[in-house]
Chain A
Amino acid sequence: MSTALSQSPGAGAPRKARSRTGLIWRIVRRRTAAIGLGFVVLMIVLAVFAPWTAPYDPLAQDYTAIRQPPGWTHPFGTDALGRDILSRIIWGARASLLAGTLSVMIAMLIGVPIGLAAGYLGGWTDRIVSRFVDAILAIPFLILAIVLAAALGPSLQNAMIAIGVSAAPLFVRLTRGQVLGAKAEDYVEAARAVGNSHPRIALRHILPNILPALIVQATLTLAAAIVFEASLSFLGLGQTPPNPSWGSMLNDAQRSLSRAPWIAVWPGMAIFLTVLSFNLLGDGLRDALDPRRGST
């Protein structure tokens, strides 16, 4: 419906609302992206309302029901301490989604302004920033995050900071490249001719035009950040026990992998499906935000 509208310039009045429904519509129309969006929304709802959606207390230990296979009382089974796995998955989603979202926000808050400055100012600023970023990107991401997390001390908050800082160079490089592309457009020169100041050109004219690429990168990085949070928690550098996170659940599960494999399967599947959903959503966003389709 929105495509038909945007092709008929006659329909005028509720413009803002139209373009916004248009964006969601363009995502939903792509089936894979819609599935991704649906699963992400489901996980967010489950996580936000965890006290009501989780059937049990995620920390309550029940020594009469240790390592129970999936069944009617415990749909996903119980772990080595008799804790309900479904409840721990739902509470763990809080940690994972929070870690993903916040670390991406940290990465963008650091990376986008630096990339914008480097790309827009060029010259020595750009050369120094680029060499520095290249050097950091040469270090494997996980190693960097582990070093940072270990230095900061194990906690979910420090894991998020470590992932965010490690992912920032990605955003520096992406932003810089996008700015270089946008800077060559005539409308940037036009903005200068009309009397815009340099900060205003960068923020008002260039940033909105490179935002689609950044949003897409954010969703993809969010998926990666969830994996890295799980990795750090698995290594004991993230969520502190006994609080659940998908990574620390995997860590617990490995000790009884041969006797009770379902303990590992559920958090593994949760990570897999959530990351896949964010990736599908990111791909869908990339298509939906393509400026040639005339979004916004």
Chain B
Amino acid sequence: MSAPQVIRAEGLSKSFVVGRDLLGRPTRRVRAVDDVSLSVGARETLALVGESGCGKSTLGRMVMCLIPPDHGTVEMHGQPVSHRSERDLRQVRRKAQLVFQDPYSALNPRMTAGQLIGEPLMLHDLVPRADRAARVAELMEAVGLAAPQADRYPHEFSGGQRQRIVIARALAAEPEIIVCDEPVSALDVSVQSQILNLLVDLQERLGLSYLFISHDLGVVQQMADRVAVMYLGRIVEIGTAAEVLDAPRHPYTRALVASAPVARPGKRRGSPPVEGDLPSPVAPPPGCHFHTRCPFAEDICRREVPALISGEAGGAAAACHFRDSLPPAEPPRPAATPSPALARLMTAFHAGSVP
């Protein structure tokens, strides 16, 4: 842990005003992010998982200094970067770039691909004017686009190609970390894997770090070194991908892993699925936010906020009072042997008989 962290966030909180009285004074606030700390090392991918509305995107934008935190600090290579002037922040932000969920709205429709990718070069004066076109061509080829397409407008590209433009633009700023906010969830499945492979490939070649925001555990498993699970603005479990996804400790993580689709017909879910709806983030439940939906909840969960620490046996840090005493989770991964249902299906298929 002594290796320098590319990005380190300490105690970040952010609340948004959702209601105002007649005089415009805030009456209701939603705590989008509540006292969250995380760090991303060099060449590391930290995945941020959670339901929609849990504060993933807000956290990602605070880490990038796109929105100022209410509390907490962000450090880059040990240097505090939050709470600086707008001019300084522009320099800081260059080191942390953003890849958006929706490649259709992330590109200015009135700028060509070349202008879009060249803009960071121009703004930060990274490449002399005369060499910019060549650098843009280089970047386009690095993300799998043909350089002559530089004078086309975004609407002339497909969704996957647009996401490649977004990635090329992020790379143009020569960042050290890229915040990927659901980068593939708006894309076709066949294109998803191409983009994911591109991201992995770029990480290896350029030594990038990723903060990878997603709700798709399949994608997370493919990409992540470490995983942080968020629930209602707090991180409830954080650890290596193997720890969190294969041996989840927090009941919420277990439910999340269990509800991920598994390519095995007839398989029973390992844990009961989460019941009830996500509580309103305007008035989150006291104590452990998850107690309203947790099958193991007891009195202490309604009163005290559990700390995010590792259990006695080590492994992932989980914010649960019973992190050591919960019954072991069923293995969420399907066993190698096919299920009886699948076996029946396969024999019926091979026999070609219609029952």
A189-197, A237-245, A261-269: which lies at the interface: A189-197
Using CB atoms, name the residue of chain A closest to B119: A194
Contact B109 A196 (CB under 8 A): no
Asked if B232 is at the interface (CB within 8 A of a chain A CB), the reply is no
A209–B109 touching, CB < 8 Å: yes
Question: Does B105 belong to the interface (CB within 8 Å)?
Answer: yes
Bound Cα distance from A192 to B169, whole angstroms? 12
Selected contact of A294 from candidates B90, B93, B100, B153, CB within 8 Å: B153
From 63 to 97 in chain A, residues with beta carbon under 8 angstroms from any chain B beta carbon are none
Chain B's interface size range is 20 to 34
Inter-chain CA distance A166–B184, complex, in Å, is 49
B107 engages A187 (CB within 8 Å) = yes
The residue on B at minimum CB distance from A6 is B156
Decide if A140 is an interface residue (CB 8 Å cutoff): no
Minimum distance in angstroms from B187 CB to a CB of chain A: 15
Q: Determine which of B86, B108, B148, B152 lies in contact with A187 in the assembled complex, contact meaning CB atoms within 8 Å.
A: B108
With an 8 A cutoff between CB atoms, is B124 at the interface? yes
Return A198 CB to nearest CB of chain B, in Å: 7
- Bound Cα distance from A117 to B310, whole angstroms: 50
Q: Are A195 and B110 in contact (CB under 8 A)?
A: no
Nearest-Cβ distance from residue B322 to partner chain A, whole angstroms: 40
Known: A294-B153, A294-B155. A190 touches B110 (CB 8 A): no
Whether A205 touches B156, Cβ cut-off 8 Å, given contacts A12-B151, A194-B97, is no
CB <8 Å contact, A195 and B123: yes
Interface of A is mostly: helix
Instruction: Verify A189–B108 contact, CB threshold 8 A.
Output: no
Known: A186-B102, A187-B105, A196-B123. A209 touches B152 (CB 8 A): no
B104 → chain A, closest Cβ, in Å? 9
Most buried by B among A15, A190, A194: A194
Interface check B308, CB cutoff 8 A: no
Q: List 27 A-B contacts (CB under 8 A).
A: A9-B156, A186-B100, A186-B102, A186-B106, A187-B106, A187-B109, A189-B66, A189-B98, A190-B98, A190-B106, A190-B107, A190-B169, A191-B108, A192-B66, A193-B93, A194-B93, A194-B123, A194-B172, A195-B173, A196-B123, A197-B90, A205-B108, A208-B110, A209-B110, A294-B153, A294-B155, A294-B156
Known: A194-B172, A294-B109, A296-B153. 15 other contacts (CB 8 A): A15-B151, A187-B108, A190-B107, A190-B169, A191-B119, A192-B93, A193-B98, A194-B119, A194-B173, A195-B93, A195-B123, A196-B119, A197-B86, A209-B109, A294-B153
